[in-house]
Structure 1
Amino acid sequence: MCNSMAPLKVETFSGVAAKSPIAQCVKAVLRRACLEKRLTVGLLPAIQYLSTNTDGALFCFTAEAPPGDSATHMQEVLLQAFCVENDIHVIKVDSPAKMMKILGCKDQTIDFNCVLVHYPYTDPFSDSQEMDMSILTEAEKDLIDHCDGSWASSQTSVIKLPEK
């Protein structure tokens, strides 16, 4: 599904990535992590998790805070900075509702503005400081490649998640 990656096309007026294979990778990563119970959902639970497990998270998916919610926006900015500092891949998506739908949740009270994906249960670093890439799925590897490829970009693209 995610083996053949095409370069992202970014619309200059919005920074929103056009529908692309990377969106399918996001979907696959979220669903697999959900099945394996490797998720922390919600901004405050994510912050609490990261306060004690800086090496435990692989990805941090964030969606824009609602307009006018400056407190949530500030928390998101600080969380993203923390993730970057701790080598956690930050991925912006277009909709918390789409993340909720991908994960099969119907509870409207749960905050899907932030979803952390944890490493698989084995120790990702074993005896070295380098991550063991063999424990990751192809979709996770493709998503890491996408993040590494856009690391130096001054504008972070927003991945448009599939509707279904």
Structure 2
Amino acid sequence: MTYTNEMVAVKTETFSGVAAKSPVSQNIRTMLRRACVEKRLTVGLLPAIQYLTNNCNGALFCLTTEAPPGDSATHMQEVLLQAFCVENDIYIIKVDSEEKMRTILGCRNQSVDFSCVLVHYPYTDPFTDSQEIDLSVLTEAERDLIEYCDNWEYSQTPVIKLPEK
């Protein structure tokens, strides 16, 4: 099933009964830009799979777009990646456009694959043996997105329409 023409409308909804400060799409943009500055992104489907092979607890979010129609190999990789994410408590967010993610992150290189972007956890001390995750170091946008993602089921993940800029 493709979501190209069936986008779920993004509303400034509530997160746990509290009015959201910004729509989900704005939180995604804020999170992506900050994670980019902090160098905690893995961009591309194959690099994401390679990263998760070595560090299954290092990703907080996995943002994906739909595979192009007829590209069954990429579709299978995406399905397996999403199943892996569900199994390892990585939040999956489907977005409407690879091009919009590229624009948000300021990449003009059209050959870079933006069909999948992993956002890593921010660690307080990446050199310790303990990979304890301090959730207090997450941004407000990341915490809002976690609350938002907790409100839907894996099989019903909506496609979020990203802002144009």
TM-score (norm 1): 0.84
User: Identity of aligned pairs, percent?
Assistant: 72
> 1:153 Cα deviation (Å)?
6.5
Go from structure 1 to structure 2 and tell me whether the alpha carbon gap of 1:128 and 1:145 turns closer, same or farther (over 3 Å shift): farther
**Alignment partner, residue 162 of structure 2:** 161
Size of the alignment, in residue pairs? 151
* Structure 1 unmatched runs, 5+: 1-12
Checking the alignment, whether the CA contact within 8 Å between 2:124 and 2:134 is kept in structure 1 is no
Question: 6, 23, 45: which one pairs with 1:14?
Answer: 6
Checking the alignment, whether the CA contact within 8 Å between 1:19 and 1:162 is kept in structure 2 is no
* Structure 2 unmatched runs, 5+: 13-22
Checking the alignment, whether the CA contact within 8 Å between 1:41 and 1:116 is kept in structure 2 is yes
Give the 5 Å matches for 1:111-130.
111-122=113-124
Residue-by-residue CA offset, 1:116-141 (whole Å, 9 max, x unaligned): 000113269x9999842201000000
**Alignment partner, residue 83 of structure 2:** 81
**What secondary structure does 1:115 align onto?**
strand
**Alignment partner, residue 66 of structure 1:** 68
Go from structure 1 to structure 2 and tell me whether the alpha carbon gap of 1:153 and 1:42 turns closer, same or farther (over 3 Å shift): closer
**What secondary structure does 2:30 align onto?**
helix
Residue-by-residue CA offset, 1:36-79 (whole Å, 9 max, x unaligned): 00000000000000001011100000000111111000000000
Go from structure 1 to structure 2 and tell me whether the alpha carbon gap of 1:48 and 1:102 turns closer, same or farther (over 3 Å shift): same
Question: 39, 42, 63: which one pairs with 2:41?
Answer: 39
Give the 5 Å matches for 1:142-157.
142-150=144-152, 152=153, 154-157=155-158
